[in-house]
Structure 1
Amino acid sequence: MSDLFGDTPSPEPAARDRPLADRLRPAALDEVIGQEHVLGADAPLGLMLDAGALPSLIFWGPPGVGKTTIARLLADASDRTFVQISAIFSGVAELRKVFDAAKTRARNGQGTLLFVDEIHRFNKAQQDGFLPHMEDGTIVLVGATTENPSFELNSALLSRAQVLVLRRLDARALAELIARAEAMLARALPLKDDARAALIEMADGDGRALLNLIEQIAAMKIAEPMDAATLGARLQRRAATYDKSGDGHYNLISALHKSVRGSDPDAAMYWLARMLSAGEDPRFLARRITRMAVEDIGLADPGAMRQCLDAWATYERLGSPEGELALGQAVIYLALAPKSNAGYVAYKAAMRLAKKTGSAPPPKHILNAPTALMKDEGYGDGYAYDHDAEDGFSGQHYFPDDMEREAFYDPPERGFERDMRKRVDYFAKLRAKRQS
């Protein structure tokens, strides 16, 4: 083990005092579990190492999937000194010392692999500080982040590093990790089959969390193997990974929105439950659900927005958890409602044209003329009062004088918009008749 700058060995604790996660840390890349898509012989890291060319990297993935371990093993495989810092605890002074030490090593013919945990926590200036040292070969940077690099890292840094996505560990990988832990402990865990399955679920794809749970189980004094119910009573389930301001937040609301749009009430209810159980603000969900009614259903079912507003009001009256059922009912209604984005498309098209045409004035015949001067200027001259016209429709031109008529709203033959389609076509025919 090395200190901050990777040069001075620190004393190793006694094996029995080291956490199980540390004792089970892989000694070679082929021992890493669950990341074959980046570590296989034909996968990105396998090809890079085979070619003897290791670029700077960004590991993007959830906690407990091996980001730190892979970085250590890459340093060993490429014969570089491994240096680890955390963006949470390091500032400009620490970075300067790290870079100076790396330059000294470089002069002595030794490379440095600098592993930066939570790299997205560094601000733009700090991220820019890595660039010259990456470009001149002083360091190979390996950054780790749980957040989307596209949003959290500078484009300059991303252009000099390859992003590799590490996946949450699946049930097979976690089962293999349990087997390795039992081999290390030289005994089987006192668990029945259903308890083993429950243990894997509790870890929620996080290998480190799984090993911590295994340590708790191994320390228990148990006469008989536990079943799932007993295990659940003795252990705390790992909280689902969810940052209400981070990438997981937007991923789950996107999943909910697209499930509603895809008319799948079961999937929509699942994602709603995932967000609520993770502590999402129900008022945020009420706003987004109402947005779905406007954007993806619109006038195909005019009652959809009313359902959402009523559910929102019901939540405000009842609070949690009773009021959350109203949000669930609204989600089911939206998922099964006829879908149309015709109103949304019409709005966006009208906004684009409004920005393009700037301050073009309305035609004078539809302007009010409360003063003599305005009448003299032609305001209101030639206006046809629709209620006096045949069929209650004059067919006059309401766009600016120098602008051709535009058609923004194109309702589909679905739901209530079937009737809207008939009305649009009816008025189009009358308009053509009046203008002719």
Structure 2
Amino acid sequence: MADLFDSDPASPPPAAGGPRPLADRLRPATLAEVIGQDALIGPEGPLGAMLASGHLSSLILWGPPGVGKTTIARLLASETDLSFVQISAIFTGVPELRKVFEAARLRHGQGRGTLLFVDEIHRFNKAQQDGFLPHMEDGTIVLVGATTENPSFELNAALLSRAQVMVLRRLDAAALGEMLERVERVSGPLPLDAGARDAILEMADGDGRALLNLAEQVIGAPATLDREALTRRLARRAPRYDKSGDEHYNLISALHKSVRGSDPDAALYWLARMLTGGEDPRYLARRITRMAVEDIGLADPEAAQLCLTAWEIYERLGSPEGELALAQAVLHLALAPKSNAAYTAFKSAMAAARQTGSEPPPKHILNAPTRLMKQEGYGAGYQYDHDAEDGFSGQNYFPDGMKRGIYYIPVERGHERELKKRVDYFVKLRAQRMKAGG
């Protein structure tokens, strides 16, 4: 496999016998020609500084599809005079890796270094990732791995400790516009009016490779296309969304924080992004309900029930009609008064329960159904609250010897404003009963 992907960056590309795709014809010849990653490869960027120092260390290029990871790796090899070898973790097993390492070892013995570019490196298992380490340490290879997934979660700590993570950004509108201008320098003006030009950038969705493929489809159109005509001619690119990857967690985090931040429009937008990306509405219903109990709590006791009702409506109606109920629940949560007092109180109580271990309840609040238990003092001195003044005895309900815990502190918002009054009322009565009891 190494022979299939091994190339000498100093040698010219083989002559093409047929038409070359636009993306191939516009492939940058130097790092300076790479669009949209100036913060990384510019003179002040980490890669630019690394090249200026004359020392290239192993790297992990992390970023979405179509932002130049493979191109940058190839150009790094060219600018450091390293032999470029490209493999994909999807198609490469242990036998192929051994051949790659052996070929790199032979080159190293002849005084030539190897830049090993591993696409989708996160797909290698732990043992395969560990296999790179000795060859990185002895200088046999400079590893450049590419991944669309968060390296912190997908790559071994040992591998990450030997490589610098470089983050490539999604191409913004300006970068995509610059790329479209580069297309027109090769192909001539594209038959697009201003609206269609904006539309094709939107369709690319931050992916430079997708933009070039879309542009290639409109070259040679018989007439100038407006937005509507372009939409008919081209299929809109599906939004990038992986229900088990970074996008899934990034978007649900955005939705949750928009709700917590009381921004109904942003919350509705992120809900729509997840739904259009193909997220399971049942997952969203579960997470929305969690938001109600975590961030709204008793400030709006009806919020959780409203979420459960929206969940049930979705189960009965299905998509797309049932999704409106989820949208209404999200709007309600975003506009509801917020409190995490119950959430915080529960965590504090759980921590106290773990610390106090097996401390028993005080005997006066234990039932005594047998004579022996009565003899042991179970139930002795219990005060029936309904018989007490104001229906409140003020007795201690914590374990004997344990300092009284204060976990629930209501906020001055929504329904919890009323609950705070009740908490303060009972605190005052308890103090009075304790004083009266001596």
TM-score interval, smaller chain: over 0.9
The alignment partner of 2:316 has SS state of: helix
Work out which of the residue numbers 183, 186, 192 in structure 1 matches 2:185: 183
The answer for the alignment partner of 1:76 in structure 2 is 78
How many angstroms apart in 2 are the aligned matches of 1:50 and 1:223? 48
Counterpart AA for 2:170: R
Aligned runs of 1:331-346 on 2, under 5 Å? Answer: 331-346=330-345
Is the 1:58–1:162 Cα contact (8 Å) retained in structure 2?
Answer: yes
Matched residue, 1:217: 218
Task: Report the counterpart of residue 172 of structure 2 in structure 1.
Answer: 170
After TM superposition, the structure 1 stretch with the greater mean CA deviation from structure 2, 374-383 or 258-267, is 374-383
SS at match of 2:293: helix
In 1, the alpha carbon distance for the partners of 2:15 and 2:386 equals 91
- Which residue number in structure 1 is paired with residue 291 of structure 2? 292
State the partner residue of 1:120: 122
Q: Secondary structure at the match of 1:75?
A: helix
- CA 1:282–1:140: 2 relative to 1, 3 Å: same
What secondary structure sits across from 1:423 in the alignment?
A: helix
Quick one: distance in 2 between partners of 1:400 and 1:254? 40
Show CA shifts across 1:116-175 (max 9, x none): 100000011111111111111111111110001111111111111111110111111111
Q: 1:94 aligns with which of 64, 84, 96?
A: 96
| Deviation for aligned residue 1:181 | 1.4
Conserved 8 A contact 1:260-1:268: yes
Distance 1:85 1:10 in 2: 20
Q: What is the SS of the residue equivalent to 1:238?
A: coil
Counting only pairs closer than 5 Å after superposition, residues 30-429 of structure 1 correspond to structure 2 as 30-185=32-187, 187-218=188-219, 222-429=221-428
What secondary structure is seen at the aligned counterpart in 2 of 1:240?
A: coil
Partner Cα distance (2:147, 2:394) in 1 = 60
Deviation at 1:376, TM superposition (A): 1.7
| Residue deviations 1:379-436 (CA, integer Å, cap 9, x gap) | 1111111111111111111111121100000011111111111111110011111111
- Assess, with a 3 A threshold, how the Cα gap between structure 1 residues 3 and 342 changes in structure 2: closer, same or farther: same
Q: Which moved more, 1:96-105 or 1:376-385?
A: 376-385
C-alpha separation between the residues in 2 aligned to 1:429 and 1:293? 31
CA shift, 1:29, in A, is 0.4
Distance 2:85 2:205 in 1: 29
Asked whether the equivalents of residues 61 and 166 of structure 1 are also in contact (C-alpha less than 8 Å), the reply is: yes
Once the two structures are TM-superposed, the CA of residue 179 in structure 1 deviates from its matched residue by: 1.3
Spell out, residue by residue over 1:233-292, the C-alpha distance to the aligned partner (whole angstroms, 9 max, x if none): 110111111000111000000000000000000000000000011111111001001100
CA RMSD, 1 decimal:
1.6
TM-score by length of 2: 0.96
Quick one: which amino acid aligns to residue 425 of structure 1?
Answer: D
Unaligned runs of 5+ in 1: none
Q: Which amino acid aligns with 1:74?
A: L
Q: How far off is 1:6 after superposition?
A: 3.8
Pick one of 6, 23, 27 that aligns with 1:21: 23
Are the equivalent residues in 2 in contact too, given 1:2–1:10 (CA < 8 A)?
Answer: no
The aligned amino acid for 2:222 is A
Distance in 2 separating the partners of 1:182 and 1:354:
69
Q: What SS does the corresponding residue of 1:257 show, helix, strand or coil?
A: helix
Q: For residue 5 of structure 1, report the CA deviation from its aligned partner.
A: 3.8
- Aligned residue for 2:235, secondary structure, equals coil
Alpha-carbon separation, structure 2, partners of 1:148 and 1:308: 31
Structure 2 stretches lacking a partner, 5+ long: none
1:320, 1:367 → 2: CA distance?
52
Structure 1 residues 5 and 12, CA, compared in 2 at 3 Å: closer, same or farther?
closer
Shift of 1:17: 2.5
- Residue 15 of structure 1 contacts residue 23 of structure 1 at CA under 8 Å; is this kept in 2? no
1:10, distance to aligned residue in structure 2 (A): 11
Amino acid at match of 2:201: I
User: Percent identity among equivalent residues?
Assistant: 72
CA distance in structure 2 between the aligned counterparts of 1:241 and 1:404, rounded to whole angstroms: 54
* Cα contact 1:5–1:98 (8 A) shared by 2: no
Aligned length: 433
Deviation at 1:344, TM superposition (A): 0.5
Q: Return the letter of the residue paired with 1:345.
A: T
Quick one: distance in 2 between partners of 1:177 and 1:336?
42
